[in-house]
Amino acid sequence: MTLRADLELYDGKRTDILERIAAAHPVTAPLARQLIKTASDDDPRTQSGATWLILHHARAGYAYTPAATRELLTLIGDDLHWEPTLNLLQTLPHLAIGDAPLPALRKSLKRLIKHDNKLVRAWAYNGFAVLARQHPKLASEAERMLTQGEQDEAASVRARVRNARKGK
């Protein structure tokens, strides 16, 4: 089956389906490009499945090309459903983020720390810690943002900020 056909089987909940898809479609540069393209699909389930696979491959050590990384960072700024946005934010620690996309990414993260979903907020704050580790010139801005995150009403956000400070 094709990747798209396999993703259409995803019910939006069961990750075992996505694990089978990942096993059936080993990551390559063309597959990574296809996943990134599919992540901007109109269907939130398809977005979620594609971004879950993107995160899965990143966690497994796949190194996205600089061009693919820029596309992934652009997706973070898009108005996706909260689950694919969360998957993309969780992918940030696994990406080598160059200088070019920094202004747009910082703008996206600042918007996402105000998101209704507490997990998206938590991982947006984490994104600032990731940026500071890769770009020390952003350390003071990241520190301000993390301090702000410590005041969030959601305990999960505050916990993620503490872990972000520890580099976890």
pLDDT tens string, the chain, 168 residues long: the values are 799 999 999 998 999 999 999 999 999 999 999 999 999 999 999 999 999 999 999 999 999 999 999 999 999 999 899 999 999 999 999 999 998 889 999 999 999 999 999 999 999 999 999 999 999 999 999 999 999 999 999 999 999 999 999 988
For residue 79, give both structure tokens: 């108005």
Q: Are residues 87 and 117 in the same domain?
A: no
Q: Are residues 3 and 80 in the same domain?
A: yes
pTM value is 0.96
Range of the domain at 51: 1-96
Query: What length does the chain have?
Result: 168
Choosing from 74, 96, 118, the residue where a domain stops is: 96
CB atoms within 10 A of CB 52: 26
| SS3 of residue 53 by DSSP | helix
Q: Are residues 71 and 146 in the same domain?
A: no
